[in-house]
Homo-oligomer: A and B are copies of this chain.
Amino acid sequence: MKRVYLDWNATTPPLGAVVEAMAFAAREAWGNPSSVHATGRTARACVEDSREAVARLAGCDPRDVVFTSGGTEANNLALRSAFAEAGTANVSTLVTSRLEHPSITRVAEELDRAGRARMRWVAVRSDGVIDLEDLERALSEGNVRLVAVQAVNAETGVVQPVASIIAAARRAGARVHVDAVQAFGRTEDVATEADTRSLAGHKLRGPKSIGALLTRPGITISPVLLGGSQERGVRPGTTDPVAAAGLGAAARHALASPARWRALGPLREALEIGLLRLAPGARVNGAGAPRMPHVTNVAFPGWRGPELVAALDLEGLAVSAGSACSAGTAEPSAVLVAMGDPEAAASSVRFSLGEDTMAGDIETALAIAGRALGRFS
């Protein structure tokens, strides 16, 4: 059975160059980068080489790259740092929306519960875009310390108006964090004007256990984990030169990737048209919004998303309902609920293509979908 992987937003297959760079580093640069001897310095050089590659991809200075264990830790670090010095009097506001990843929304809820931040949830339009008017309203209420917004939604592929959001926040004197995990390596538009940004290695064909928080010069980050003085005291724990080497190779590859991802547009269109034809009544979530060219998130009214995913998997097609991060919880997609469509939240399936997806994969995917939808109807 030919298997087709259309779940690139959940994770991407590591590049051959990434696997090779990691194996090489494991043999040649395995030292502790904090050790002062030659073995340590070789490991340190490997880490710094990776930092430069990530900085080049992100359009920032290598000194503004903090390596973390992944996107989740980078988001935690950004949000908690912004409210680290908050006193109990005159608690300032954190503005975000229910479109965000749980590593944003759950930290926001915790900061609110602990009295460190006052939460202001911005309204979401039915097409999955942040409601800019409500954002302006939130900013006009004053005392906003941070706006946290994603560059691209993982589930729908909807692109948020990050430039407008940053401009509005600047006018109000607020800091902006952009979760750019789904943007790096897929578009050149990686919100270089944001105060902090997060990146995850495994969304751009690198290793899973490394990510980065990117900061603008002058932004101070307070550590969440405490321990040694690695990463300028911001992120303790032995920095991994092997994971860093993998991320560096992925970042170098990603410099030229956006064109490859943009080229997926026609394949995505073919898939979308084919799916809508197979399932009368099906509709595309976020269809009216600017979307990344590699994602389609389709509601199949009358079906249950997780069951359809299981049926497609049996036939060899890997897709998802909701995000993998909340898999097993059996809860409907918080993103689609935020878009005001509970029916879609229960019945939708995400198909996410990637730079290696070929026309034949789409044909196979549609054939599989036809069988699965036919069997259930």
- Interface residues of A, Cβ cutoff 8 Å to B: 3, 5, 7, 10-11, 13-14, 18-19, 22-23, 26-27, 30-32, 34-40, 69-73, 75-76, 101-103, 106-107, 110, 200, 202, 207-210, 224-230, 236-243, 306, 309-310, 312-313, 316-320, 323-329
Assembly CA distance A36 to B242 (angstroms) = 28
The answer to whether A37 touches B70, judged by C-beta atoms less than 8 angstroms apart, is no
For this complex, 5 residue pairs linking A to B, each with C-beta atoms less than 8 Å apart, are: A22-B23, A37-B320, A72-B238, A228-B326, A243-B243
Assembly CA distance A291 to B310 (angstroms) = 55
Most chain B CB inside 10 Å of its own CB: which residue of A202, A229, A238, A323: A238
Q: Looking at the assembled complex, report how far the CB atom of A13 sits from the nearest CB atom of chain B, in whole angstroms.
A: 5
The answer to whether A30 touches B11, judged by C-beta atoms less than 8 angstroms apart, is yes
**Contact flag A227-B101 (CB < 8 Å), given A70-B238, A71-B237, A237-B71:** yes
Q: Looking at the assembled complex, report how far the CB atom of A146 sits from the nearest CB atom of chain B, in whole angstroms.
A: 16
Copy count, this protein chain: 2
**Contact flag A318-B207 (CB < 8 Å), given A19-B23, A103-B226, A228-B102:** no
Assembly CA distance A39 to B14 (angstroms) = 13
Q: Looking at the assembled complex, report how far the CB atom of A191 sits from the nearest CB atom of chain B, in whole angstroms.
A: 20
Closest to A329 in B: B229
Assembly CA distance A34 to B154 (angstroms) = 15
The answer to whether A10 touches B325, judged by C-beta atoms less than 8 angstroms apart, is no
Q: Looking at the assembled complex, report how far the CB atom of A211 sits from the nearest CB atom of chain B, in whole angstroms.
A: 8
**Contact flag A7-B39 (CB < 8 Å), given A22-B26, A30-B13, A226-B76:** yes
The answer to whether A237 touches B73, judged by C-beta atoms less than 8 angstroms apart, is yes
Q: Which residues of B contact A32 (CB under 8 A)?
A: 7, 10-11, 202, 324
The answer to whether A228 touches B325, judged by C-beta atoms less than 8 angstroms apart, is yes
For the complex with contacts A35-B318, A36-B328, A200-B238, 12 further pairs of A-B residues with Cβ separation under 8 Å are A3-B39, A7-B35, A14-B27, A22-B22, A34-B327, A35-B327, A37-B313, A37-B319, A102-B236, A106-B227, A209-B210, A209-B242
Q: Looking at the assembled complex, report how far the CB atom of A40 sits from the nearest CB atom of chain B, in whole angstroms.
A: 7
Assembly CA distance A33 to B75 (angstroms) = 21
The answer to whether B37 touches A226, judged by C-beta atoms less than 8 angstroms apart, is no
Q: Looking at the assembled complex, report how far the CB atom of A205 sits from the nearest CB atom of chain B, in whole angstroms.
A: 10
Assembly CA distance A240 to B210 (angstroms) = 9
Assembly CA distance A243 to B202 (angstroms) = 12
The answer to whether B227 touches A224, judged by C-beta atoms less than 8 angstroms apart, is no
Q: Looking at the assembled complex, report how far the CB atom of A358 sits from the nearest CB atom of chain B, in whole angstroms.
A: 17
